[in-house]
A = this chain, B = another copy of it.
Amino acid sequence: MNDTQRLQRGTTILTAGLLAWLTTAAIDALADEDLGRQLASKGNSTGAAACVGCHGSDGQGMAAGGFPRLAGLNADYLVSQLHAFRNGTRDNPIMTPIAAKLADGEIEAVAGYYALLPAATSGSSTPASHLEGDLLKRAELLATWGDWPQRRLPGCNQCHAPLGQGVGANFPGIAGQHASYLKAQLKAWQSGARRNDLLGMMRHVATSLSDEEIDLLAAYYASMPTGKAITAGNLAQVSVTKPAAGEASAPAAHQQAAFTPPSREQLPGGPFGDMVRLGEAIFTETNTHPISAPHVGNDQACTHCHLDAGRLADSSPLWAAWVSYPAYRKKNHKVNTYIERLQGCFTYSMNAQASKAGKPPAADSDTIVALTAYSYWLASGAPTGDNNMPGRGYPEVAATEKGFDVRRGAKVFADNCALCHGEDGLGVRDADGTTVFPPLWGERAYNWGAGMHRINTAAAFIKHNMPLGVGGLSDQDAWDVAAFMNSHERPQDPRYNGDFEDTIEQHHDSEYDYYGVDVEQSGRRLGQP
């Protein structure tokens, strides 16, 4: 929890009369609030203009002028943007001269002030924001799912959190923001006029969108209510040092030739369609969906390892998995049906042992039937038994001359991954427990039996799927960061048989596996009970 959030919580607590909980930090912040209010309403003595002139006395901005709402935005985000105006990485004829006249402390104070102002709760009411029917549906689809197969375009909500409520300093809330402002910014990312995005993510997104889609998304988020706070996660403040990528990376070759699953619009009606829909919902919200959550012992959902809800080529898509089961698996030395394979995901990647139910869902449970129906439907038209479909699994990354290295990986992680997953790697959940960015290690991550714990598997996943949408990591970086990720502790392998050495020999005898290894030379081996 950062200061701003602490402050937000402090305010709530004050309202409730629980003064005893007020911390010194919150008291300092409240003192800053006075300075912030003053700067907002009057500017400062060195010539910085008052904010209220454009952003309004309540901080709600002005749609007509394209001036954004500031009220309720994340303080750290506002700080980072004022710094960007000041240092020129965000260029704006009005804001640049104002920011240039603000001292560091003033920036923090005014940002803190606006963060505490209540955002309009019912969204902007500009006429353009009233979407209906097909337009609304298109906007929803784009905001939720993006367009992975064609453009590797993430849904806005994948980073800006469900319903565009925002996540910490890096992903501002866009719900209830003025459409005119949202549109102008997307255009600015697109043209390169704005370029202070991290990892080039917004440039990639904006250049992927058509003008019509920009209008649609701007209107959609403008009408979206605010107020679903992202407060329960581990919002480590991160500074990503890597500059934005020059060009969005081209999709991998596989993408081009890959199978096309039916579109979401083609979802059938009737009870079968309902089951497919349930499967999609469970797939994306596995750890919070009421039906599947009792079998999930961590913060993982299926979609974390299978992007675009299991549709994306090179991201272990479900359509390719469906047609290649039943199959023999070395993992458990037997032929597994697809259902048993799904149950394995719960056992390992979702650590079902630590769940309420303590075990994966039964073969005839709604969860398994729904995930099975969903997978089957995604595979519509795919040839049964074809276990070499282009885009299947995570394509292997060739070994590099330098091998893989945890220390090099730490740097790659800080530059590319911490932005979303946090410097502590523990990911972000919203107030409802929905995982916005999954944890990569620790007790809430996949366990030592999950395929992803293998460095080669993780390198393959990362190379083809990370950072979200933009990609572009070198093979070497993918190997190194995979090693770094998997050099952390995580829940025990459910196959642990009481004998550490024997478990290693049975299941972890691989050069790509840190289970049983003392990577840090700390005297303690990873996975040691």
Contact A334 B271 (CB under 8 A): yes
Looking at A382-390, A433-441, A520-528, the stretch in contact with chain B turns out to be A382-390
Contact B337 A372 (CB under 8 A): yes
Cα distance A327–B276 when bound, in Å? Answer: 10
Within 8 A of B (CB), among A337-393: 337, 339-340, 362-364, 368-370, 372-373, 376-377, 379-386
Minimum CB distance partner of A384 in chain B: B379
Minimum CB distance partner of A373 in chain B: B326
Within 8 Å of chain B (Cβ to Cβ): is A257?
no
Hey, which chain B residues are within 8 Å of A381, CB to CB? 383-386
Q: Which of B272, B335, B339, B364 contacts A271 (CB 8 A)?
A: B335
Q: Which of B339, B364, B379 contacts A385 (CB 8 A)?
A: B379
Residue of A323, A368, A377 with most partner-chain B CB within 10 A: A323
Minimum CB distance partner of A275 in chain B: B335
Hey, which chain B residues are within 8 Å of A368, CB to CB? 337
Within 8 Å of chain B (Cβ to Cβ): is A328?
yes
Q: Say whether chain A's binding surface is mostly helix, strand, loop, or mixed.
A: mixed
Q: Which of B335, B364, B369, B373 contacts A373 (CB 8 A)?
A: B335
Within 8 Å of chain B (Cβ to Cβ): is A479?
no
Within 8 Å of chain B (Cβ to Cβ): is A270?
yes
Within 8 Å of chain B (Cβ to Cβ): is A220?
no
Hey, which chain B residues are within 8 Å of A334, CB to CB? 271, 369
Within 8 Å of chain B (Cβ to Cβ): is A512?
no
Q: Which of B272, B275, B363, B384 contacts A376 (CB 8 A)?
A: B384
Within 8 Å of chain B (Cβ to Cβ): is A181?
no
Residue of A319, A335, A363 with most partner-chain B CB within 10 A: A335
Within 8 Å of chain B (Cβ to Cβ): is A322?
yes
Nearest CB of chain B from residue A380's CB, rounded to whole Å: 4
Contact A363 B384 (CB under 8 A): no
Within 8 Å of chain B (Cβ to Cβ): is A67?
no
Contact B384 A322 (CB under 8 A): yes
Cα distance A339–B372 when bound, in Å? Answer: 11
Nearest CB of chain B from residue A363's CB, rounded to whole Å: 3
Known contacts A339-B363, A363-B364, A372-B337; decide if A326 and B383 are in contact (CB<8 Å): no
Within 8 Å of chain B (Cβ to Cβ): is A325?
yes
Hey, which chain B residues are within 8 Å of A272, CB to CB? 326-328, 335
Cα distance A415–B385 when bound, in Å? Answer: 44
Cα distance A319–B383 when bound, in Å? Answer: 12
Within 8 A of B (CB), among A183-208: none
Q: Which of B337, B362, B376 contacts A325 (CB 8 A)?
A: B376
Minimum CB distance partner of A382 in chain B: B384
Contact A384 B326 (CB under 8 A): no
Hey, which chain B residues are within 8 Å of A376, CB to CB? 325-326, 384-385
Nearest CB of chain B from residue A229's CB, rounded to whole Å: 37
Minimum CB distance partner of A379 in chain B: B384
Minimum CB distance partner of A270 in chain B: B328
Contact A382 B383 (CB under 8 A): yes
Contact with B along A75-117 (1 / 0, CB 8 A): 0000000000000000000000000000000000000000000
Known contacts A271-B335, A363-B363; decide if A326 and B385 are in contact (CB<8 Å): no
Minimum CB distance partner of A322 in chain B: B384
Contact with B along A301-341 (1 / 0, CB 8 A): 00000000000000000010011011110000011110110
Known contacts A335-B272, A364-B363; decide if A384 and B380 are in contact (CB<8 Å): yes
Hey, which chain B residues are within 8 Å of A336, CB to CB? 369
Known contacts A275-B326, A326-B272; decide if A383 and B383 are in contact (CB<8 Å): yes
Contact with B along A510-521 (1 / 0, CB 8 A): 000000000000
Interface residues of chain A, those whose CB is within 8 Å of chain B, are 270-272, 275, 319, 322-323, 325-328, 334-337, 339-340, 362-364, 368-370, 372-373, 376-377, 379-386
Interface CB pairs A-B, < 8 A, 8? A325-B376, A337-B369, A363-B364, A377-B385, A380-B383, A381-B384, A382-B384, A384-B384
Question: 5 closest A-B pairs (Cβ-Cβ)?
Answer: A363-B363, A380-B385, A379-B384, A275-B335, A326-B373
Known: A337-B372, A381-B386, A384-B384. 15 other contacts (CB 8 A): A270-B328, A271-B335, A272-B328, A275-B326, A275-B328, A334-B369, A335-B369, A335-B373, A337-B368, A337-B373, A340-B369, A362-B363, A381-B384, A381-B385, A382-B384
